[in-house]
Structure 1
């Protein structure tokens, strides 16, 4: 074989080797880009899910809004609105003639209510006068837990909006909470009509409580200042073991809703007087 032929074969082998190296390098680059691209796609997908989840929470109003208890709220998590003479520990004390904090009432009525609940309206219409009398005499204090089961069962936001507005009234004055609470039940719409979802309606009804409607009250209602607090109160009720509203307890014992042991205003008075003597 001539020197020229050997050089020619060697040159061909070199070119073939170089071409193979270039092919391998090209294939490696493609694999690397493919892995990187897949990783970017996964990351982008994860970011997309996070944004959707975040946006969903923000749109629902459940994320990013602080839990703000109304003024004077008591109990675990400050989820209870007290009414009546609770004494120093209850933070809802009333002053006697001498300017000293009144002694706490000896008996506690606990009420779980929904402002859209017809059964709650029935309880309030029958027992309102008696409950107020026992409160004003210092014989009984009331602890209100505001819940939203009608919103959950029938849809809408009227239970939430009304509870927030009642909490706004509590911010203004505990006496105004009681008065506005009663106004909301007196004017309760039909259960299937979500009238209380309208903040303007709630503010108009608040005009029936002298001095309640102020710029601060309007802002509190319209901004849903206590919405997260109401949701928390409802969540606690949902895990409490009680299943319906109204749930009414006297010193922790259920006293309302049992057809075998019906409660009347006079019977409630007797029970409160008996409990106070014990």
Structure 2
């Protein structure tokens, strides 16, 4: 009887052991399935993001319109605080045809296209390469905006913005490109609002700190300056133009922003330790 009891006990113990081993196997199998599913979802999300980013890049690299008020370099020139200079006219640009050479990230160009001084008696020419998501560009604007505005109002200088897309990234939803597109939208639809809108986009950096604004906020800023650009922003109407301007800047040797020229001279190379206002002011004064 004792032997029979021992055998039954051993059998139950063995059964429990087998059940426990099976439970552990099932648990490992479920865990493997769960992690496999998680990894599959992550992979799919990664592929979707990569597809969207690549598609956006491909779209920007195709031919598209550029505002008639933009010049050959893609710049928008302020002839006064509320008036834009004449551009190169309605046309399409194709950034895919521009080959960008490798360049040093620390290089500073000595010359740039169409930045040279005008004839005697003509306003001083200020040309600014900038990115709307560039903290140093925002700082430059906040420091010098009042002085530049004064030069514009007095007819002493013109100011040309060549907005580039150097700092777009997934974490800011390609903000540099979206904001530059919006600036083109305003220049095209309501030229007199361009100066104020550009200033507002730079001022917004203090709020978003590099994360960028969404399209609704960009559109709202434009509305506050009297421009309805909702469809232009959502459609990315001038994204090809932004890419075209960006590639031309890289070809010219513009490695970073802001890059500022006055009458053909690069502030970074010619300004020594002078503030921009002092350096440019001396050139304007002659």
Which bin holds the TM-score, normalised by the shorter protein?
A: 0.5 to 0.7
Q: Which residue of 2 aligns with 1:243?
A: 255
Asked whether the equivalents of residues 58 and 64 of structure 1 are also in contact (C-alpha less than 8 Å), the reply is no
Q: Gapped runs of 5+ residues in structure 2?
A: 1-51, 88-120
1:40 maps to which residue? none
1:177 to 194, 198, 202: 194
Partner of residue 100, structure 1: none
- Measure the CA separation in 2 of the matches of 1:227 and 1:246: 21
Distance 1:144 1:230 in 2: 12
Work out which of the residue numbers 140, 153, 176 in structure 2 matches 1:136.
Answer: 153
Native 8 Å contact 1:116 1:188 kept in 2: yes
Task: Give the match for residue 237 of structure 2.
Answer: 225
- Tell me by how many angstroms 1:244 deviates: 1.0
Unaligned segments of structure 1, at least 5 residues = 1-54, 93-103
Task: State the Cα deviation string for residues 119-140 of structure 1 (Å, max 9, x = none).
Answer: 0011101110111111111111
RMSD of Structure 2 on Structure 1 (CA): 2.9
**Partner SS, residue 167 of structure 2:** helix
SS of the residue corresponding to residue 179 of structure 1 reads helix
Tell me how many residue pairs correspond in the alignment.
199
Query: Once the two structures are superposed, what CA deviation does each residue of 1:130-154 show, in whole Å capped at 9, x if it has no partner?
Result: 1111111111111111111111697
TM-score normalised to the size of structure 1? 0.63
What aligned pairs does 1:106-185 form with structure 2 within 5 A after superposition?
106-151=123-168, 156-185=173-202
Deviation for aligned residue 1:257: 7.4
What CA distance in whole angstroms lies between the structure 2 residues aligned with 1:67 and 1:272?
37
Displacement of 1:173 in angstroms is 2.5
- Confirm or deny: 8 A CA contact 1:111 1:247 kept in the other structure: yes
CA contact (8 A) 1:147 1:231 kept: yes
Question: Which residue of 56, 59, 66 maps to 1:62?
Answer: 59
SS at match of 2:65: coil
| Structure 2 CA distance for partners of 1:70 and 1:157, relative to 1, 3 Å | same
CA separation of 1:228 and 1:164: change in aligned 2, threshold 3 A: same
Q: Distance in 2 between matches of 1:64 and 1:248?
A: 26
